[in-house]
């Protein structure tokens, strides 16, 4: 069962921890809960909590013209508009809004492992953070940014082996940019192999309209060829399925979408890799939560630590993986 404490409802005031009423795997949020959550964490005009699709709890943040939507399950950002009329993220219209199911699109958090689990293949792909209920740790709003910090209770890990082993805190700051950081903490007395990613689905006009100059010249592991090592000798193109783990990417990545006349850049930190994914037509049709024509409208570009570049966290050690997204109209 859940509990909560309250601090009140003044802009700039930090709010304390709050948990949703959880029964089994279902998360229930009644209208009065929403009211009390807004009482405790809402900040007039900038931070608002409510029911999303299928009554799944969500939060909406604003900062001047900028808007952001996130679901508490997975601390999953589903919409980001830096200004009216520009949606930066792609969400599948066929996404499944169900407790325990990962949402297709937006920015899923892959944690505490990326891809298939190295030792236990029957564990779910990309870890359990994206299907777990996060707790609100604090909200804030001032002239610099509107922010929210969420935590994943280590004791709530779905498998005994993972309980109280590693904690996760995720902070989001919305201003003229979108800043976010995953902070992992090894709570155990033994080293922990951590792999993770900010699995961003960027909305695009069309695959052929997109260029990402920063990956030219980098080495990558090609998932489509059993992670064989390859060299990106010319500009990356998206004529078919692409699933690559680039090594030692630069901190700043720019991608240009001529069709939308937009240049999106992000600075990342704490990542050894950059994953680029587009499922292509066939794979898109095979996934029931992926729109059939969705492969033309999205590209995943993900700061990550994966495979041989996973992180070894010593007992008590912390790791930060973050990115700051900035959008410019050309």
Q: Catalytic amino acids?
A: 199, 302
Q: Is residue 256 part of the contact set for ligand TA6 (CB under 6 A)?
A: no
Q: Using CB under 6 A, count the residues that bind ligand TA6.
A: 11
Determine whether 248 is exposed, middle or buried from the number of CB atoms within 10 Å of its CB (0-12, 13-18, 19+): exposed
Distance between CA atoms of 188 and 236, rounded to whole angstroms? 41
Q: Which of residues 124-183 bind ligand TA6 (CB under 6 A)?
A: 125-126
**Contacting residue, 57, 105, 115, 294, with ligand TA6 by CB under 6 A:** 115
Q: Is residue 300 part of the contact set for ligand TA6 (CB under 6 A)?
A: yes
- Closer by beta carbon to ligand TA6, 40 or else 199: 199
Contact between residue 70 and residue 172 where contact means Cβ atoms under 8 Å apart: yes
Residue closest to ligand TA6 when measured from CB atoms: 277
- Closer by beta carbon to ligand TA6, 257 or else 302: 302
Q: Is residue 277 part of the contact set for ligand TA6 (CB under 6 A)?
A: yes
Q: Which of residues 183-212 bind ligand TA6 (CB under 6 A)?
A: 199
Q: Is residue 275 part of the contact set for ligand TA6 (CB under 6 A)?
A: yes
Residue 284: what are its φ and ψ, rounded to 5°? -60, -40
Contact between residue 227 and residue 197 where contact means Cβ atoms under 8 Å apart: no
- Closer by beta carbon to ligand TA6, 5 or else 286: 286
The terminus-to-terminus CA distance of the chain in angstroms comes to: 51
Q: Is residue 69 part of the contact set for ligand TA6 (CB under 6 A)?
A: no
Q: How far is the CB of 116 from ligand TA6 (least distance, A)?
A: 9
Q: Is residue 102 part of the contact set for ligand TA6 (CB under 6 A)?
A: yes
Closest CA to 130 of 81, 90, 95: 95
Q: Can you give the three-state secondary structure of 129-179, one letter per residue?
A: HHHCECEEEEEEECCCCEEEEEEECHHHCCCHHHCCCEEEEEEEEECCCEE
Residues that bind ligand TA6 (CB under 6 A): 102, 115, 125-126, 199, 223, 243, 275, 277, 300, 302
């Amino acid at each position: 069962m859940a509990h909560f404490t309250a601090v009140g409802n003044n802009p700039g005031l930090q709010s304390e921890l709050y948990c949703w009423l959880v029964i089994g795997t279902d998360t229930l949020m009644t209208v009065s809960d929403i009211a009390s959550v807004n009482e405790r964490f809402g900040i007039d005009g900038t931070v608002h909590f409510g029911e999303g699709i299928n009554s799944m709890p969500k939060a909406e943040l604003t900062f001047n013209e900028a808007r952001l939507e996130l679901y508490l399950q997975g601390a999953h950002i589903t919409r980001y508009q830096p200004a009216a009329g520009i949606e930066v993220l792609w969400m599948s219209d066929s996404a499944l809004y169900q407790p325990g199911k990962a949402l297709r699109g937006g920015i899923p958090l892959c944690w505490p492992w990326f891809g298939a689990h190295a030792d236990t293949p029957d564990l779910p792909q990309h870890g359990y953070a994206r299907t777990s209920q996060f707790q609100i740790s604090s909200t804030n709003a001032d002239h610099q940014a509107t922010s929210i910090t969420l935590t994943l209770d280590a004791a709530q890990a779905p498998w005994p082996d993972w309980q109280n082993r590693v904690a996760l805190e995720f902070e989001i700051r919305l201003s003229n940019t979108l800043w976010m950081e995953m902070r992992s903490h090894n709570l155990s007395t033994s080293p922990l192999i951590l792999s993770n990613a900010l699995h961003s689905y960027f909305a695009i006009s069309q695959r052929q309209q997109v260029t990402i100059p920063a990956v030219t010249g980098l080495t990558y592991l090609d998932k489509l060829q059993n992670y064989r090592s390859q060299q990106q000798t010319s500009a990356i193109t998206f004529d078919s399925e692409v699933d690559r783990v680039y090594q030692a990417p630069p901190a700043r990545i720019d991608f240009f979408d001529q069709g939308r006349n937009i240049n999106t850049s992000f600075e990342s930190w704490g990542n050894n890799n950059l994953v680029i994914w587009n499922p292509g037509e066939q794979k898109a049709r095979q996934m029931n939560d992926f729109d059939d024509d969705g492969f033309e409208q999205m590209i995943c570009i993900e700061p990550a630590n994966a495979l041989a570049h996973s992180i070894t966290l010593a007992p008590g050690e912390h790791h930060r993986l973050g990115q700051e997204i900035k959008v410019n109209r050309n």
